[in-house]
Amino acid sequence: MPRPGFVLDVDRSTPPILFHHGEGFRLERLPAGRSRVIYPSEPIEALKNPDAAIRDALVNPIGDSEPLTALLKPGMKLTIAFDDISLPLPPMKRPDIRQRVIEAVLDLAAAAGVDDVMLIAALALHRRMTEAELRHAVGDRVYDAFAPDGRLINHDAEDPDNLLYIGSTEQGEEVEINKRAADSDLIIYVNINLVSMDGGWKSTATGLASYRSLRHHHNVRTMQHSKSFMDQHKSELHSANWRMGKVLRDSGIKVFQIETTMNNNVFGTEGPMSVLQKREWEWSLKDRVTMAGMKTALDLMPSRTKRSIFQGWQAPHAMTSVQAGEVEAVHKLTTENVYKQHLVQVEGQTDILTMGLPYISPYNVNSILNPILVACLGLGYFFNLYRGKPPVREGGVVIMSHPTPWEFHPVHHPSYIDFFEQVLSVTTDPLRIEAEFEKSFAEDEWYRHLYRTSYAYHGVHPFYMWYWCSHALQHVGEVIIVGGDVRAVRRLGFKPASTLQDALEMASDVVGRDATITHLHNPPILMADVS
Amino acid sequence: MSNATPSRMPITRKQATKLIRKLPVNRSVGNSVVRRGGSIGRIVKTLLTEPTVPNGVKVLAKESKVGANYDTDWARSYPARAARVLLVEGLVRPVIDILATPTVYGDDRLTDIEGPVVFAANHHSHIDTPLMLSVIPEPWRHHLFIGAAADYFFGNQITSTLSALVIGAIPIERTKVTRNSADQAAVLLDDGWSMLIFPEGGRSPDGWGQQFRGGAAYLSLRCNVPVVPVHLEGTGKVLRKGKNVPRLHPTSVTFGKPIMPNEGEDSRHLAIRIEEAVAALADESATDWWQARRRAAAGETPSLHGPEAGSWRRSWSLDDRKRTRKGKRNWPEV
């Protein structure tokens, strides 16, 4: 029986706490008597027979939907869209959940005599997936059967010939999605719900959309009104997507949503990485030796080597639930299943929130976590992993631990380089950035070309990463990065500190000397349910 | 006249031996003349020669210790297993990698299986067994026994010992499911060992498959273990039946979805399902997964047995099964 997550009050006997630090680790002693650590729950039990569960979900849908077997007919036009490289994190061991689901769907489509099938990686403005990444996601069998004929493609949000304007919401938000998907008799969306932000109408309304459509909710105002965007009932991001979903539904587009959840078994229960999933006071001699050895070796390695080791890690995540049918009914159940793994009850807020940032975020799989993505991972994702209210009080301090190297992947993140040099050197104010700079990056022909033909994120993507931080930037009084590249941290508008003790000392200028501290022991992922 | 000692009468060893044998007594003198090697040879010959049977005595029928009766328990002792791991990893796999350069498909289908399974593959060549030993993933590879033809692999003590040691074989009667063969396999499956069996009962004579026999299905039903259908392609080109010298040729191995026996299913029906699954894998191997699934759904999966026609036409139509899986495709230009 997996143990639930809990909050540890730090006392003098608490051992040093593990902080992820990019492709490395720090062991930090938190001040006794005024600190607490939020631990995630242990990986919940996986489905015993995932393939059988998928088949069962397809023929027994939930909400107002017929079984998939009844929806598939000979001569129909079928589009299967699936989540891109940003999910799950880290990439999972083969077979990927998407492969299992897509094979099950195609089995039924074959039995129904469906000929016209197209598979689309719903990547919105993310970079295109490489052949190896697609093979990993959908499996070799599906890739070999569909890709050679151009029936397995990456969505292109800048292809005017393959986008279809569907209509506008009551608030004037334009809805434009992939034309092939819109023209299909049925869209089957295959989702992996890593966190509660994923899934629902966001899958189609965002994953298959164009810049014209995305800009209506990927903006500063929406982010500042999403408290948090992980809590769909208080997320303006979700509200906008749901409004767009209504436009899609009213236009006659039929979506059969398949959502899956997974446990947070990120580092496994065996092997050297398993120590990262254990609670520090339960580290055995072997674990302590492993940690010391790993830490020493990583400190000596060049960053390129460390990166390739960590990016090569495939997590033994396992599927915990699968539900299929009508989008909203499916997503409601999915969210409950996600919460079963992630939610940890936390009482009240503290003055300081600390977090150790790992090597990976949704936007640097097989890539580099550049300074903008460091900010987004900490202030965008980790900060927003709450329900109710943030674990840090308004005007408090966020302390993040990451090397924050002044490094960018030139193929994946070309517009990030220019954003860092040309925009953040002028201002870090999200509203001013949006007003003054977004349009020129979003409509830049060179970035557009790289997005469509290379493996680059869209020109506007670094802006969205910065907007992702805007709720946190509005809420907290100070952001400090421990162990980061001083110049890069300053360019982000944050304060650099050499050690956690220095950072706490600096924080005392903002929140006082006896400030209370909360540490998010993440990853594996947790979500603080703050009362 | 000379005082010299008279010279000995010249006589060869052969003549001396002959002469001594003609003497009525004192044979032992002759033995000293006969070569020592001959003596050892005779002793060995004497030891190996069965005693003659007196007239009128009825000889009891002896139970054969080879063939289906060969006891292979020793081949699953720890020293024998260690030797087999060394042989497979140090010799068999490197040789197969050079000779058959196998490409493995579908091993991800085995992810959810726990415990023993029966791997049931089509059979073209003697290379099939070492190839399977090289590509079956862990944890099954080194906890595997092989159902091998009792009359062929267990014909005498030497081949029996080698078959049991190197490939972990147990003898299986090809013509019938005997109690001995089945019991032995069932005990091992119950004990957690997995099995590799070629349900066709022998290598393909012409490149097309033969009807699957019931052994794999029977064991699956009896021990309630899944059957993993496996399709082997190209091994006939490496070493087809009737050839002794192998040649280099790429091969492919496609693992299928594990098949569990249905409630109340008999072994004949399960054997048909296994054969259909291998046929679908052959189709998948020749075309692609989606086409194979569509044909399977429509009941149009090409049979493993080939057309009902004369030998040359069967041979001719083998070319139609050439792999047409498409190569790498560049990304579309936009």
Classify residue B79: in a domain, yes or no: yes
Most confident range (mean pLDDT) of B29-33, B168-172, B306-310 is: B168-172
Of the listed ranges A331-335, B160-164, B319-323, the least confidently predicted one is B319-323
Give the model confidence (pLDDT) of B23-78 as tens digits.
Answer: 766 555 445 444 555 677 777 777 777 777 777 777 667 677 777 788 888 999 99
Shared-domain flag, residues A117 and A36: no
A477-522: per-residue pLDDT in tens?
999 999 999 999 999 999 999 999 999 999 999 999 999 999 999 9
pLDDT of B317 over the 80 cut: no
A27 and A80 in a common domain: no
Residue A70 lies in a domain: yes
Q: What is the pLDDT of residues A358-412, one digit of tens each?
A: 999 999 999 999 999 999 999 999 999 999 999 999 999 999 999 999 999 999 9
Residue A73 lies in a domain: yes
pLDDT value of residue B172 = 82
In the predicted model, is pLDDT for residue B330 greater than 50?
Answer: no
CB contact under 8 A, B290 and A159: no
Residue A327 lies in a domain: no
Please tell me if residue B288 touches chain A, with a CB cutoff of 8 Å: yes
Q: CA A97 to CA A258: how far, in whole Å?
A: 11
DSSP letter at A480 equals E
Q: Is residue B301 part of a domain?
A: yes
Per-residue pLDDT, A494: 98
Burial of B241 from C-beta contacts in 10 A (0-12 / 13-18 / 19+):
middle
Could you tell me the end-to-end alpha-carbon distance of chain B, in angstroms, rounded to an integer?
122
Residue B17 lies in a domain: no
Q: Is residue A316 part of a domain?
A: no
The answer to whether B112 contacts chain A (CB < 8 Å) is: yes
Q: Are residues A243 and A350 in the same domain?
A: no
Q: Is residue A106 part of a domain?
A: yes
Q: Tell which residue, B87, B100, B166, B86, has the closest CA to residue B135.
A: B100
Closest chain B CA to residue A111? B297
Q: Which tokens sit at A467?
A: 């907007």
Please give the Cα distance from A232 to A203 (Å, whole number).
14
Closest CA to A182 of A161, A162, A212: A162
Measured between beta carbons, the chain A residues lying within 8 angstroms of B112 are 49-51
Same domain for A228 and A167, yes or no, is yes
Among residues 452-511 of chain A, which lie with CB inside 8 Å of chain B?
Answer: 452-453
- Same-domain status, A354 and A470: yes
Q: Which residues of B298-315 are buried (b: 16+ CB within 10 A; e: fewer)?
A: eeebbebebeeeeeeebe
In whole angstroms, give the CA distance from residue B5 to residue A153.
110
Asked if residue B169 belongs to a domain, the reply is: yes
B174 inside domain: yes
Over residues B227-280, the pLDDT tens digits come to 999 999 989 888 888 788 888 999 999 999 999 998 888 888 999 999 999 999
Give the per-residue pLDDT at B332. Answer: 46
| Å between B182 CA and nearest CA of chain A | 30
**A75 shares a domain with A37:** no
Do A62 and A116 have their domain in common? yes
- Average pLDDT of B129-137? 93
| Number of compact structural domains in chain B | 1
- For the segment A125-141, the average pLDDT, to the nearest whole number, is 96
pLDDT of residue B333: 43
Mean of the pLDDT values across residues A336-344?
96
- What chain A residue is nearest to B295 in terms of C-alpha separation? A110
Distance CA B277, CA B292 (A): 11
What is the pLDDT at residue A372?
Answer: 98
- What are the structure tokens assigned to A132, written together? 């190896």
What is the side-by-side strand order in the sheet with A255-262?
A152-154, A116-122, A77-83, A186-193, A255-262, A319-325
Residue that has been written with the tokens 């915990």 in this structure: A320
CB atoms within 10 A of CB A506: 16
Whether residue B329 and residue A147 make contact (CB cut-off 8 A), yes or no, is yes
CB contact under 8 A, A113 and B294: yes
Looking at every residue in chain A, the average pLDDT score rounds to: 96
Q: Does residue A54 share a domain with residue A143? A: yes
**What pLDDT band is residue B302 in, cutting at 50, 70 and 90?**
confident
pLDDT the model gives residue B7:
60
Q: Give the C-alpha separation, A234 to A223, whole Å.
A: 11
Q: Is residue B10 part of a domain?
A: no
Contact B296 A140 (CB under 8 A): no
Phi then psi for residue A416, to 5 deg, are -65, -40
The type of residue at B320 is D
Q: Three-state DSSP class for B241?
A: coil
Q: What angle in degrees, to the nearest 10, is found between the helix axes of B215-223 and B267-286?
A: 120
Could you tell me the CATH number of the domain that includes residue B122?
3.40.1130.10
pLDDT band at residue B322, thresholds of 50, 70 and 90? Answer: low
| Residue B308, helix vs strand vs coil | coil
Residue B152 pLDDT > 80: yes
Same domain, A35 and A110: no
Single residue among A230, A262, A294 that ends a domain in this structure: A262
Q: What is the model's pLDDT at position B13?
A: 82
Which chain B residues are closer than 8 Å to A149 by Cβ? 326
B60 is a domain residue:
no
Residue A292 is assigned to a structural domain of this protein: no
Residues A36 and A158 placed together within one structural domain of the fold: no
Give residue A86's domain range.
50-262
Q: What pairing do the DSSP bridges indicate for beta strands A343-346 and A527-530?
A: parallel
Residue A67 backbone dihedrals phi, psi, to 5 degrees: -60, 155
Domain range holding B143? 67-321
3-state secondary structure of B210: coil
What tokens appear for A93 in the block?
A: 């061991």
In this structure, are A436 and A525 located in the same domain?
Answer: yes
The verdict on A64 and A33 lying in the same domain is no
Nearest CA to CA, how far is A95 from chain B (Å)? 6
Query: Please, which pLDDT band fits residue A229 given cuts at 50, 70 and 90?
Result: very high
Closest chain B C-alpha to A88 CA, distance in angstroms: 18
Last residue of a domain, one of A210, A238, A262: A262
Please indicate if any CB of chain B lies within 8 Å of the CB of A410.
no
Which residues make beta-bridge pairs with A62?
A325
* Least confident window among A192-201, B4-13, B66-75: B4-13
CATH of the domain at A81: 3.40.50.11440
Beta pairing partners, B321: none
- pTM of the predicted model as reported, rounded to 2 decimal places: 0.85
Q: How many domains in chain A? A: 2
State the DSSP string of A93-112: PSSPHHHHHHHHHHHHHHHH
Average pLDDT (B210-230) is: 90
Whether chain A has a CB inside 8 Å of the CB on B37: the answer is no
Specify whether the CB–CB gap between A255 and A248 falls below 8 A: yes
Is residue B330 in a domain? no
Q: What is the pLDDT at residue B34?
A: 47
Mean pLDDT of chain B: 82
d(CA A394, CA B107): 53
Interface contact B293-A148, CB threshold 8 A: no
- pLDDT above 70 covers what percent of chain B? 81
pLDDT of residue A336: 96
From A262, A294, A329, the end of a domain falls on: A262
Name the band, by pLDDT with cuts 50, 70 and 90, for residue B177. Answer: low
> Does the residue A480 lie in any domain?
yes
Three-state DSSP class for residue A514: coil
Average pLDDT over residues A10-29: 95
pLDDT digits (tens, 9 = 90+) for A64-112: 999 999 999 999 999 999 999 999 999 999 999 999 999 999 999 999 9
Give the Å distances, CA to CA, from B304 to A195, A506, B283: 47, 75, 9
Tell me the nearest-neighbour CA distance from B140 into chain A, angstroms.
18
Residue A137 lies in a domain: yes
Residue A29 gets which letter from DSSP? P
CA–CA distance, A238 with A332 (Å, rounded to integer): 13
Work out the average pLDDT over A120-135. 97
* Alpha helices for A139-230 (secondary structure H): 140-146, 179-183, 201-207, 211-214, 220-224
